[in-house]
Amino acid sequence: MPATKRRRFAPIRQAAEQNGIHYRTLLYWINRGDIQAYRFGPRLLQVDLDELDALRVPVDPDGPRRSGRAS
């Protein structure tokens, strides 16, 4: 029988801090449906850190660039 991967949960503020984002940004992503929040008890919201990691997308270095100047 294969081993089940254990989920890594963290409170909203801690998860945001670990990922270098503001906790309100994380709440926005939750409200928008980009990431699922899980309630532990009546007040504590946590997120699965693997779900948060899955939102990371590499930047294409050859992609379009913005110069900041009007053409």
In angstroms, the CA 25 to CA 49 distance is 15
DSSP calls for 1-49? -PPPPPP-EEEHHHHHHHTTS-HHHHHHHHHHTSS-EEEETTTEEEEEH
Closest CA to 14 of 51, 35, 45: 45
pLDDT at 68: 59
Check pLDDT > 60 for residue 71: no
Reported as a single tens digit per residue, the pLDDT across 19-45 is 999 999 999 999 999 999 999 999 999
Q: What's the pTM? A: 0.72
In angstroms, the CA 12 to CA 17 distance is 9
Q: Where are the domains of the chain?
A: 9-54
Reported as a single tens digit per residue, the pLDDT across 49-68 is 999 999 888 888 887 766 65
